[in-house]
Chain A
Amino acid sequence: MHIPDSFIPITQGAVYWVIALVFIVLALRWVKNEMSEEKVPLVAVLAAGVFALQAFNLPVTMGTSGHLVGGALVAIVLGSPFAAIFVLSLVLIVQGVLFGDGGITVMGTNIINMGVIGGFVGYYGYHGLLSVTRNIYASAAGAAWLACLIPALCAAIELAIAGTFPLVPGMISMGIYHALIGLIEAGITAVVLGLIVNSRPDILDHPTGAPS
C-alpha cells in the first residue's frame, strides 16, 4: 500500500507531510526520553532489520503472496506506538529514496498510514484485545490484522479525497485484499511474539503479558 508520487495532489501531500513530521518529532522525543538512556542507535539498527524482514515473500491463501509490514510487531515488543512510527518512517524513507517504492511528495501520507495509524492501531488494538481475551498471541494476531487492514482503508480514503481512486469500489477492493494479506501478518506476528517470549522475554515491554 505504498502510494506512489503523482496520485496525491501536491497541496494535500504537503498537509500529510506536516502531520507526519509532527509524529516523527514526537517519536524521536519518545526514543530519547522513554526508552532507558539514549537508545536511538538500537532502534535505528532494528529498523534496518525490519527492512530485511519485509523482504520475505510469504504465502497467503489462493495463490497470492504478501510480506510483513511489522508495525504492530514493533509497537507491541517495544511497548509504544511511537516505536512503530520511528522504525517505519526510517524504512519508508529508505524505500522511497533508494528504491522508488512509495514517493517523495506522498511519503508523509505513507508514514501516516503505515507508521502512525498502523502503530497506534497495533499497540492499542493489542492492549484492548488483551484486556478482553487475556491471551497475548490471539491479541497480537488480532492487532496485527487490524494494523494491516485499517491503514489500507485509510490509504483508499486518502486516494478518494485526492480524486484518483473511487471511494466505494476502492475501499472494497483494498479492504478485501488487505484483509487477506493481514492474515499472514497476524500469523507471523503471533509466532514471532511466541519466539520472543520463549527466548528473549527481557526485550518485551511487559514480559508476563499483562498490560502495563
Chain B
Amino acid sequence: MIEDLFEIERLAYGTSPLHRLDARIKLIVTFGAIIALVAYPVNPSVYYVALVFAVLLGLSLAISRVPLRTFLARILVILPFGLSILLFQVLFPPIPFPTETVLTELPFGVVITAEACAKASMIGVRFVLCIGFIILLSSTTRIQDLLVGARRLGFPSEFTLILGMMTRYLFVFGQMFLRVRNALSTRCFDPFDRSLPYGYRIRQLGNTIGTMFIRSYEQGERTYTAMLCRGYGKDAFLFVPKKALARSEWGTLFACMAVVIGCPLAVYLLFG
C-alpha cells in the first residue's frame, strides 16, 4: 500500500479542472455520495441509483484524466476482504429469506439461493462504487488541500494540525520503508524463504521493524523539540485563511449534490 503513496500524490498534482476544483466541494460530494449509497436500502432499485452514481463517477474520472488502469488497479487492491465477506453471505445467509429459490446445492448441506446472490450483488455494487469515489478523491486532491478543505469546512483545528503533521511524515517513513526493504533484499534476505529457520526470520524482521519504530519515535522527539523552539504550545493551531467559493464552484456543488441527493430520493419514490 505504501508504494502507492508516492504515485497517489504524483497523480494529485495534475492540472485538470477536477484537480483545480476546490477541495471542499470534492470532499462534500464524495462523502455525500458514499453516505447516500450506504443509506439506500438494500432492494433491487439500488441498481438504478448505482447506475447514475457510476455515470457521475465515470464523468468525473474522464474530466480528471486519471489513468483508468491505475484507478482500477487501486480498486482491485482493496477488494479481497469485502469480497470474502460477500462470499460468506452467499454460502451462509445470516438472515433466512422468506422465499427461497435454490440455485445449487453444495456438499455439507450448503445451499446457494438466488436471494442470497441478489443481496450480495447489491451490497457489492455499493461497496465498489464507494471505493471508486474515495480513490477518485485521493487521486485528484493533494493531501495538504484535503486538510485545508477539511479545516475550512469546520473540522476541528486540533485534528487537522495532528493529521497534517502525520501526513507530512508519511512520506518520510514511506521512503524509509522502501530503503529498508531494498537493504534487506540487497542482503538476499527474503522473509518468505523457507530454507531459513522461522525463528531467525521473525527475529530479523522484528529487529528491522523495531528499529523503524524507534526511529519514528526519535523523529517525533526531534520534531517536537524543533516545534517547541519555534513557539509551539498548548494553543497552537493550523492557520487557514478564509476563502469564499466562486459562483461557478457553487454551481458545481449544487449540480453534484442535486444528483447525489435527488437521484436516490427520486428512485426510491418511483420504484420503492
Contacts and interface: CB of A to CB of B under 8 A. Distances in A.
A, B in one complex: yes
Contact of B165 (A5, A38, A44, A97): A44
Nearest to B137: A97
Nearest to B9: A98
Interface string A93-127: 11111111101110000000000000000000000
Interface string B68-85: 000000110110011001
Contacts, number: 237
Contacts of A207: none
Interface string B173-205: 110110000000000000110000010011101
B254 interface: no
A51 B173 contact: yes
A133 interface: no
A79 B135 CA distance: 36
A70 to B, nearest CB: 8
A26 to B, nearest CB: 13
B138 interface: yes
Contacts of A191: 202-203, 205-207, 209-210
Interface in B31-56: 31, 34-35, 37-39
Contact of B202 (A5, A7, A57, A184): A184
Interface stretch (B98-106, B216-224, B245-253, B255-263): B216-224
A76 B211 CA distance: 16
A65 interface: yes
Contacts of B114: none
Contact of A93 (B39, B163, B203, B223): B163
Nearest to B216: A49
Given A4-B81, A40-B162, A195 B206 contact: yes
Contacts of B161: 40
A103 B176 CA distance: 27
Nearest to A170: B88
B210 A196 contact: yes
The secondary-structure label for the interface of chain B is helix
Contacts of A175: none
B134 A104 contact: yes
A38 B219 CA distance: 16
B29 to A, nearest CB: 13
Interface in B158-178: 158, 161-163, 165-170, 172-174, 176-177
Interface string B116-142: 000000010011001100110110000
Nearest to A38: B234
Contacts of B81: 1-2, 4
Interface of A is mostly: helix
A129 interface: no
A95 B211 CA distance: 23
A47 B223 CA distance: 13
Nearest to B131: A100
B165 A52 contact: no
Interface in A39-85: 39-59, 61, 65, 68, 73, 77
Interface in A162-191: 163-167, 169-170, 173, 184, 187-188, 190-191
Given A104-B130, A104-B134, A203 B217 contact: yes
Contacts of B169: 44-45, 48-49
B145 interface: no
Contact of A49 (B3, B173, B232): B173
B28 to A, nearest CB: 12
A135 interface: no
B223 A41 contact: yes
Nearest to B83: A4
10 contacts: A5-B34, A6-B123, A45-B165, A98-B143, A99-B134, A99-B138, A100-B75, A100-B131, A191-B203, A195-B207
Interface of B: 1-5, 8, 31, 34-35, 37-39, 74-75, 77-78, 81-82, 85, 88-89, 91-95, 123, 126-127, 130-131, 134-135, 137-138, 143, 146, 158, 161-163, 165-170, 172-174, 176-177, 191-192, 198, 201-203, 205-221, 223-224, 227, 232-234
